[in-house]
A and B are shown apart, each in its own frame.
Chain A
Amino acid sequence: MENIAWSAFDVLLIAATLSLAWASLTTEHLRRAVIFFIAFGLLLSLIWLRLKAPDVALAEAAIGAGLTGALLLAAVADHQKPINKKPDQKFSLADFVANTFLNLLFIAFAIVFGAAYTFALNEVNDSRLTDIVFQHLPGTGVTNPVTGVLLDFRAYDTMLELAVLLAAALGVMAIGKTRRDFVKPGDMERGLSQWLIPTLIILSLYLLWAGANAPGGAFQAAALLAAAGVVMRLTGYVDGGLPQGIWLRVLLVSGVGGFLLVSLIMMFAGRIYFDYPESWAGSLILLIESMATISIAATLVVAYLCGQPDTWFGGQQKENKHAD
């Protein structure tokens, strides 16, 4: 009975996810495509939960659906004119062939996706990697295997990922000034933001702290912190809560910087880099994760602002255009 219920749930989940992906790709309206994409991300995080990967599910829901959705919506708002023009009604053989090809491709993809999902749920009993991870986990100072892998076993890769994010932030800031203003926020938006922002910050701290022994960690915490920044941007704080000038740069590099600092200290202490002493490992990982959280959140907010904050140059605070 329970198995049948789960199978029904799985079939519905797969069908809904694939339909949303299809709808997002084929709809004529950009805004509608983005909204389908957000819903697709939420269902995708359910799939990750189903595959027993709650860390990935949290990251997908917070970054994939939430923040990417906000980014895409803002980008659509920048291009008010529809990019997709009404297709000609005349029958064209080339279009027909292309459409048929795309449909076939999508059906093939859907079959592969469904097969992979079933395979992952039923066939995979291979616990070689899991065993190795749990065998070495006591030395890392954390009990969440995902955090242990990310911050200890493959700390070097995680540091390079943060470097990639830093490069992305530099690229965004090279665009120049931030995008134009949004619609002026009303009383309700401001009232909502007054308690939503503190709640988001507390939840972000919770996820950061919980990452040591439960699903959570730097990326998920950073997504919530960045969401607070997005809410600030939408409710009249033009700089999204980011500091100015040199302090913004400090925030952006603090993720890679924290990693490098810790590993350099370890090297001077006579160890191999990224090899933490066992009694300190938990605290060091928390320190690195805290700095990474701040820097990832700053990167995401810079991406949402789509350029340097208004007050970047000159140091003079411009008049807040949203203030009444």
Chain B
Amino acid sequence: MINLIALCLILFGLFFFIAGSIGILRLPDIHSRLHALTKADNLGLGFLALGLILLSGDIFIAAKLLLAWLLVIASSAASAQLIAQRARRRERDVWKI
């Protein structure tokens, strides 16, 4: 039963990664691409970590996976903001807004 739930969670996480990858390839500009990318990082990795936590059944491994997820969330949120800020500055320079 636990295995089945874990499998579903991991598949759900993979769906976000696939969607994020397609988004990066298909979306037209940098801001919407960042949007797709951060969804993959946050939700995709979150569901993946949750599924792996269920599979591992060890509190220390669970804590490590949770920490890894939190670190990825923080770094992806921060880097997405930085890239977006930089892009906006450049757009402003180009279009003289």
* Cα–Cα, bound, A127→B76 (Å): 42
Interface majority SS (helix, strand, loop, mixed), chain B: helix
Contacts of B82 on A, CB cut-off 8 Å?
188-189
Is the CB–CB distance between B85 and A192 below 8 Å?
no
Any chain B CB within 8 A of the CB of A270? no
Is the CB–CB distance between B74 and A196 below 8 Å?
yes
* Cα–Cα, bound, A199→B82 (Å): 21
Contacts of B22 on A, CB cut-off 8 Å?
none
Contacts of A199 on B, CB cut-off 8 Å?
71
Among residues of B, the one whose C-beta sits closest to the C-beta of A193 is: B78
Any chain B CB within 8 A of the CB of A315? no
Any chain A CB within 8 A of the CB of B3? no
0 or 1 for each of A163-185: is its CB under 8 Å from B? (1 = yes): 00000000000000000000000
Chain A residues within 8 Å of chain B by Cβ, number: 6
Contacts of A189 on B, CB cut-off 8 Å?
78, 82
Any chain A CB within 8 A of the CB of B21? no
Any chain B CB within 8 A of the CB of A314? no
Any chain B CB within 8 A of the CB of A186? yes
Any chain A CB within 8 A of the CB of B56? no
Contacts of B32 on A, CB cut-off 8 Å?
none
* Cα–Cα, bound, A186→B82 (Å): 9
* Cα–Cα, bound, A186→B81 (Å): 11
* Cα–Cα, bound, A226→B11 (Å): 36
Contacts of B74 on A, CB cut-off 8 Å?
192, 196
List 3 tightest A-B contacts by C-beta distance, closest first.
A192-B78, A188-B81, A188-B78
Residues on A facing B (Cβ under 8 Å): 186, 188-189, 192, 196, 199
- 10 A-B pairs within 8 Å (CB atoms) are namely A186-B85, A188-B78, A188-B81, A188-B82, A189-B78, A189-B82, A192-B74, A192-B78, A196-B74, A199-B71
